[in-house]
């Protein structure tokens, strides 16, 4: 049997006195779709940063297809096929939408192929009408789409989405759900999301983080009926 | 007009103006004016070098004059030893580039922050200045070239046509060479910026973290930009050593470094024409103020004749009132007047 796409062992991250992530054993199969939930400050974004090399873990290891990437640099991990949409949108604000996608597509493509990838992506994320707009001048929701397009334009094999639906309208959220399903036809994904309706629609396996550790891992319906999970996280929201 | 067409139109305008200057200046003006214009052109090449690394690469280097000075001194020392100028010309580009590669390696791979990058490049410039300045004694010589300390090196042999030692470039020839060099460097940088490499360095300037998460190693790109900028500055230094047949440590000095930064601020970061305009404009202004400076040293008249003071005032005025610089501000105005055609002349 070959190694899983992502495997962490005893993964931990400590910031001074704060243990942001502790002892996480996490496995993701090829082409799997996983949701990551948990209250604010549970360590989800920190976990993502360790998967992408933005932070080097203070304990434990991260492996990508059996290869230890715990100390690798972000650009090295990106070149192994991992793309991330960060929680705070990170795009090239001074450039146009098209230029943003071009930079991404040019990393993995050459010549005329770059342009065709960009054109296809503009259609896929619905940004063709604003292709020549400067990204910094777009609305927050549209910048989220730009970042999604940028991440997908490098054609990664694992896509990490940190709260992709934040600040989106209902229609945009529905479109994001559709897009996640589309992406999942060819790629593995981990999605951090607060919106339970969103997770229900994706209907995938869910990992619950609490205080930096994995609380439980199960199918979405089982998670929604798990009393401990309701206690630490969902209680208020499901009741509401 | 598409972006590509307007960008080509911009290059065409710059080339047309450049060729007009190239052809007309020696025909319309006396030799002293031609000599002045020559040094403007040489300094504009230097301005372009910082325009690239700061304006596009986002690397604020206080030591561009160090590369300029290294280029000038390398040429002077090499040509005095070799006689023939082909290899000295090449060395005047290669030596600053190698120096920048070593310095840049420690800066970029050592993850030194932007502030310290400024401090380090400034310090290196001062060290070079002081070192060269204190080589006045006869014991300081490289081969047959005496370094001369603060007195500088006079009587530097002029460039010759490559491999033809007796076919030397005269004063008018220097004008043609300097102007053609400026045009060539401009066109080459335009091509570089339109390439994948150029787009990536701009992306890194815009958002280094994002570029890295897409798989680009910012250190490699910044180092390469730094080295290209140093090579261009070194070439400008070689031209400068030829212009006056003389080099002295002041070209490493703080004042020189500050000037280059002022040219780029006034002309505009993120453009290539901007640093050229800023450089030529300020040099012309400096010369005009200096020539008209009254001889008495008291009262308001002295104030008008105080060139550094006026340059300082211009710099502060620009930073406060026209922070983007002349060219980008003109571009914004044009964009407001003609919507949808924002990015014409760069
Ligand atoms: N760079 C940092 N320095 C110090 N503490 C941090 C840093 N980043 C995150 N933390 C802390 O780590 C914990 C987990 O944060 P985070 O991973 O952002 O949680 P989540 O994404 O689940 O909301 C929080 O207590 C947060 O304050
Ligand atoms: Mg978070």
* Domain extents in chain B: 17-252
As for the ipTM of the complex, it is 0.93
User: Which range has the worst mean pLDDT, A140-144, A206-210, B228-232, B341-345?
Assistant: B341-345
Can you give the pLDDT at residue B303? Answer: 65
Q: What is the mean pLDDT of residues B219-229?
A: 97
Residues B290, B295, B298, B302, Cα dihedral to 10°: -10
Is the CB of A159 inside a 6 Å radius of any atom of ligand 1? no
CA-proximal residue: ligand 1, atom 17 (nearest)? A43
CA distance A171 to chain B (A): 27
CA separation for the pair A29, A1 (Å, rounded) = 12
B69 has pLDDT over 90: yes
Q: Which residues of A touch B216 (CB under 8 A)?
A: 75, 107
Can you give the pLDDT at residue B346? Answer: 45
Cα–chain center distance at B218: 24
B342 has pLDDT over 60: no
Q: How confident is the model at residue B306 (pLDDT cuts 50, 70, 90)?
A: confident
The stretches of chain B forming alpha helices (DSSP H) are 3-28, 31-50, 64-82, 86-109, 114-133, 171-194, 196-206, 208-213, 218-244, 254-267, 273-292, 299-305, 307-321, 326-337
CB contact under 8 A, A52 and B213: yes
Can you give the pLDDT at residue B299? Answer: 63
Q: Which residues of B touch A86 (CB under 8 A)?
A: 213
Can you give the pLDDT at residue B114? Answer: 77
Q: Which residue has the higher pLDDT, A213 or B147?
A: A213
A84 touches chain B (CB under 8 A): yes
Is the CB of A139 inside a 6 Å radius of any atom of ligand 1? no
Beta bridge partners of residue A61, listed in sequence order:
A9
User: Which range has the worst mean pLDDT, A14-28, B53-67, B140-154, B256-270?
Assistant: B140-154
Q: What is the mean pLDDT of residues B226-239?
A: 97
Tens of pLDDT, residue by residue over A72-91, are 999 999 999 999 999 998 99
User: Which range has the worst mean pLDDT, A53-67, B145-159, B230-244?
Assistant: B145-159
* Range 157-196 of B in CB contact (< 8 A) with A: 196
A53 sits in the region (left: phi over 0; alpha: psi -120 to 50; else beta) called: left
| Largest distance between two CA atoms of chain A | 55
Q: Which domains does chain A have, with CATH numbers?
A: 28-55+68-81+158-240 (3.40.50.300), 88-155 (no CATH)
Helix (H) or strand (E) holding A12: strand A6-15
Nearest atom in ligand 1 to the alpha carbon of residue A21 is 14
Cα angle value B33/B39/B42 (rounded, 5°): 140
Can you give the pLDDT at residue A132? Answer: 94
> Could you tell me the two tokens for A224?
């929604």
Whether residue B235 contacts residue B42, with contact meaning beta carbons closer than 8 Å, is answered with no
Is the CB of A187 inside a 6 Å radius of any atom of ligand 1? no
> Could you tell me the two tokens for A183?
């992406």
Q: Which residues in chain A show pLDDT less than 70? A: 1, 233-240
CB contact under 8 A, B203 and A95: yes
Q: What is the mean pLDDT of residues B318-338?
A: 84
Tens of pLDDT, residue by residue over B165-184, are 778 888 888 999 999 999 99
Whether residue A11 contacts residue A47, with contact meaning beta carbons closer than 8 Å, is answered with yes
Is the CB of A136 inside a 6 Å radius of any atom of ligand 1? no
Can you give the pLDDT at residue A137? Answer: 94
Q: What is the mean pLDDT of residues B3-27?
A: 82
CA separation for the pair A166, A147 (Å, rounded) = 13
Residue to substitute from A75, A105, A151, interface B, most B β-carbons within 10 A: A75
Q: Are strands A158-162 and A59-64 parallel, antiparallel or unpaired?
A: unpaired
Q: What is the mean pLDDT of residues B258-267?
A: 92
Can you give the pLDDT at residue A192? Answer: 95
Q: Which residue has the higher pLDDT, A201 or B201?
A: B201
Q: Which residues of B touch A121 (CB under 8 A)?
A: none
Q: What is the pTM of this model?
A: 0.91
B285 has pLDDT over 80: yes
CA-proximal residue: ligand 1, atom 8 (nearest)? A46
Is the CB of A15 inside a 6 Å radius of any atom of ligand 1? yes
Distance A207 CA to ligand 2 centre (A): 15
CA distance B211 to chain A (A): 8
Smallest CA-to-CA distance from A68 within A21, A16, A8, A18 is with A8
């Amino acid at each position: 049997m070959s190694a899983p796409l992502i495997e962490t062992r005893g993964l931990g991250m400590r910031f001074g006195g704060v243990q942001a992530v502790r002892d996480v054993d996490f496995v993701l199969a090829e082409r799997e779709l996983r949701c990551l939930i948990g209250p604010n400050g549970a360590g989800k974004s920190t976990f993502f940063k360790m998967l992408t090399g933005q932070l080097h873990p203070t304990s434990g290891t991260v492996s990508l297809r059996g290869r230890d990437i715990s100390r690798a640099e972000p650009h090295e991990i990106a070149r192994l096929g991992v793309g991330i949409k960060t929680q705070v949108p990170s795009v090239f604000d001074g450039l146009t939408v098209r230029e943003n996608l071009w930079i991404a597509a040019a990393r993995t493509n050459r010549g005329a192929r770059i342009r065709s990838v960009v054109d296809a992506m503009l259609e896929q994320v619905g940004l063709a009408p604003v292709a020549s707009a400067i990204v910094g001048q777009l609305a927050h929701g549209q910048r989220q789409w730009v970042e999604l397009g940028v991440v997908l334009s490098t054609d990664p094999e694992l896509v990490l989405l940190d709260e992709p639906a934040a600040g989106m309208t209902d229609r945009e959220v529905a479109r994001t759900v559709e897009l996640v399903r589309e992406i999942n036809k060819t790629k593995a994904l981990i999605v951090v999301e607060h919106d339970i309706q969103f997770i229900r629609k994706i209907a995938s396996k869910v990992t619950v983080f609490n205080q930096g550790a994995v609380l439980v891992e199960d199918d979405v319906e089982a998670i929604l009926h798990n009393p401990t999970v309701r206690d630490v996280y969902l209680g208020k929201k499901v009741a509401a | 007009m598409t972006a590509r067409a307007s960008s080509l139109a911009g290059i065409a305008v710059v080339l047309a103006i450049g060729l007009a200057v190239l052809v007309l200046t020696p025909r319309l003006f006396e030799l002293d004016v031609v000599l002045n214009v020559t040094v403007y052109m040489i300094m504009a090449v230097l301005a372009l070098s910082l325009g690239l690394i700061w304006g596009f690469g986002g690397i604020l280097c206080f030591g561009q004059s160090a590369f300029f000075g290294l280029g000038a001194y390398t040429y002077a020392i090499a040509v005095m030893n070799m006689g023939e100028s082909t290899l000295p010309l090449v060395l005047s580009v290669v030596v600053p580039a190698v120096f920048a590669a070593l310095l840049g390696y420690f800066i970029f791979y050592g993850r030194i922050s932007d502030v310290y990058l400024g401090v380090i490049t400034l310090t290196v410039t001062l060290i070079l200045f002081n070192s060269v300045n204190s080589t006045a004694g006869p014991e300081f010589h490289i081969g047959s070239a005496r370094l001369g300390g603060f007195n500088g090196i006079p009587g530097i042999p002029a460039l010759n046509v490559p491999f033809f030692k007796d076919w030397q470039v005269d004063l008018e020839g220097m004008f043609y060479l300097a102007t053609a060099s400026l045009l060539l460097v401009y066109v080459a940088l335009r091509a570089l910026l339109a390439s994948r490499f150029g787009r990536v360095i701009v992306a890194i300037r815009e958002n280094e973290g994002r570029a890295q998460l897409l798989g680009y190693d910012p250190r490699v790109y910044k180092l390469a930009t730094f080295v290209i900028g140093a090579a261009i500055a070194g070439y400008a230094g070689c031209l400068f050593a030829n212009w006056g047949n003389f080099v002295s440590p002041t070209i490493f000095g703080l004042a020189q470094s500050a000037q280059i930064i002022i040219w780029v601020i006034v002309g505009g970061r993120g453009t290539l024409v901007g640093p050229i305009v800023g450089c030529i404009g300020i040099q012309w202004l400096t010369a005009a103020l200096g020539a008209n400076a009254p001889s008495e040293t008291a009262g308001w008249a002295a104030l008008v004749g105080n060139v550094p003071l006026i340059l300082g005032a211009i710099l502060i005025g620009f930073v406060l009132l026209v922070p983007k610089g002349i060219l980008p501000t003109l571009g914004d105005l044009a964009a407001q007047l003609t919507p949808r055609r924002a990015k014409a002349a760069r």
